[in-house]
Amino acid sequence: MWLVEARMVFGRARVRALLVVLAAVPVFLALAVYLTGGPSHAGGPAFLDQATQNGVFTALASLAVTMPFFIPLSVAVVAGDSVAGEASLGTLRYLLVRPTGRGRLLLAKAVVVALFCIAAALVVVVAGVIAGLAFFPHGKVVTLSGTTIPFLDGFGRSLLAALVVGASMFGLAAIGIFVSTFTDAPIVAMAMTVGAVIVSAILDGVSQVAFMHPWLFTNYWLAFADLAREPIIWRSIWKDLLLQAAYVAFFGSAAWARMTSRDVLA
Amino acid sequence: MPAHEFAIETHGLAKFFGGLRAVDGVDLAVPAGSTYGFLGPNGSGKTTTIRVLLGLISPSAGKWQLLGHRMPEEAMAALSNVGALVEGPAFYPWLTGEENLVRIDAMGRDGQRSTRGARIADALARVGLGPAAGRKYKAYSLGMRQRLGLASALLRPRRLLVLDEPTNGMDPQGTREIRHLIRQLGSEGTTVFLSSHLLSEIEQVCTHAGVMHRGKLLAQGTIAELRATSSPRLRVEVDDPGRAGQVLGRLGMSHLERSGDNLTGALDGLRPEDCCRALVEAGVAVRMLLPERPSLEDAFVALTGEGFDVAR
């Protein structure tokens, strides 16, 4: 059932287009930095300065660029569509009558959305590493702490960063699936999920509500950067994963309660 | 054969939406093996009842069983033996007809993979959709979509088929084919619960029927029993309808209606031959005399006291 659902989601033209766009970001980024002859000193996203030094940093810079908006947007599209999409087509009633247990169906949807989160981050990293290797030197990687690590170690860390970024999306994915169980219009669920990201990001930038910051699901989204230090600083990464787990538990059970009790009228 | 007597059995089933009593105390008894016509005008609560039966919405009151399984507790066991078409077909537009059937079959636990290809081909052939199996669903006409919905309901052997307006949107030839298919399924022993707003459809296909009106089940039974709820009428064509009316009225005939030289009235236990003799003895020239068997429509009008229009 999970496989069938995964094939269905990843087979959709919309989802493939999202992944292609995500893969295009690192390529454009690398190309732009290469053509302009190096990083601008006027700032810019994290890691951009290091991108010319090593291909691995192109991948990390791409993650930093896509993290605030592109990746969450694509996760919101897939998560928001998960249940509401079936409801709007009317296929939800046929899946339930098939019969597919309501809880089982929700679980399958959630697993596939989680897979998509990881896939989205992996696509960015893999495309970033390839683009980086094409334009910039490879070999030893100089970490943010100034030490050097072998290239393979650096590559491994960028894959690990993809997993961390993917997992950082789980909280948002849970919110998206939860909203998706409430409406028969997928576009509404997607918009509300994107709205959740925006609200969380805005609150995260307002110092007057600093007490809330540790509880915002966007707060530790850039924690993956600590993977580029030597030694790796795990503190905020663990905090991030713990927070995501809390969001998944809360919105996951709410979605479960809604899904197993709702009247399916669509 | 199943040990239980009824494929569908409900007791006081009700569903209210706010103040709207969409389904109001329905006691269905659908005998196993019957082809049961669930009859009622649009908006009479048929589809809502079906949604409750299949566990898609929870009832406001009442209890029900499907194939002897208590619902909704034993829904998984019951629904494995139920094929359903609820409120029109619904599939993924970007997949072909065949891919859609693969998806729905694979999403359940009992869709055996080894037989899937053969079952799908068989179901598509049964509904006459074989040649269009590889076309995208979005390119299907309404009739073809309806057929795909039926194919989906027939993917596995079922003991109960719940079909909500299955001939909706079909051309006359398609309608005939589907009715033939339903009769065939019925004769194979499958219980068919067929909802329709078409009296003629129910009359042609079904052995039993239940009449829904404004959320209530007014009557149910075999088609013959339902017909009997309105009394047979006598139609005569005579030279002097006025005089004929007096004669028949004296005999005890009620509900006399005259149109031109035609006169009809409820027989109310009178024998047509006695009416004929009385007319002739009174000097009325009888050109035609015809006892009319009540149709399901007459029964419906007798039950509801009104015509067959959209309810409310």
Is the pLDDT at A39 greater than 70? The verdict is no
Is the pLDDT at B198 greater than 70? The verdict is yes
Mean pLDDT, chain B, integer: 89
Q: Which two tokens stand for residue A78?
A: 């897939």
Percent of chain A with pLDDT over 70: 95
- pLDDT recorded at residue B300: 78
The structural architecture, per CATH, of the domain B233-293 is: 2-Layer Sandwich (3.30)
Computed from CA positions of residues B162, B110, B149, A186, in that sequence, does the dihedral angle turn out positive or negative? positive
Contact: B92, A91; criterion CB under 8 Å: yes
Interface of A with B (CB under 8 A): 1, 4-5, 8, 12-13, 89-91, 93-101, 105, 261, 263-265
| Rama region for B221: left / alpha / beta (φ>0; ψ in -120 to 50; rest) | left
Euclidean distance between CA atoms A220 and A228, whole angstroms: 15
Q: Is the CB of residue A163 less than 8 Å from the CB of residue A126?
A: no
Answer whether B110 touches A (CB < 8 Å): no
Q: Average pLDDT of B89-113?
A: 92
Contact: B92, A264; criterion CB under 8 Å: no
In this predicted model, what pLDDT tens digit does every residue of A95-154 receive, in sequence order? 999 999 999 999 999 999 999 999 999 999 999 999 988 888 777 888 888 888 888 888
Assign B2 a pLDDT band (cuts: 50, 70, 90).
Answer: very low
Mean pLDDT, chain A, integer: 91
Assign B1 a pLDDT band (cuts: 50, 70, 90).
Answer: very low
In this predicted model, what pLDDT tens digit does every residue of A56-111 receive, in sequence order? 888 998 999 999 889 999 999 999 999 999 999 999 999 999 999 999 999 999 99
In this predicted model, what pLDDT tens digit does every residue of B50-81 receive, in sequence order? 999 999 999 999 999 999 999 999 999 999 99
CATH 2.30.110.10 fits B6-227, yes or no: no
Contact: A265, B82; criterion CB under 8 Å: no
Q: Which two tokens stand for residue A185?
A: 């219009």
Q: Is the pTM of this model over 0.80?
A: yes
Contact: B79, A93; criterion CB under 8 Å: no
Helix axes B97-106, B113-126, angle to 10 degrees: 130
- pLDDT recorded at residue B307: 54
More confident site: A167 or B257? A167
Note whether B6-227 and B233-293 share their fold. Answer: no
Q: Which two tokens stand for residue B45?
A: 């609560």
Q: Average pLDDT of B26-40?
A: 94
Is the pLDDT at A186 greater than 70? The verdict is yes
Residue ranges per domain, chain B?
Answer: 6-227, 233-293
Q: What is this model's ipTM?
A: 0.88
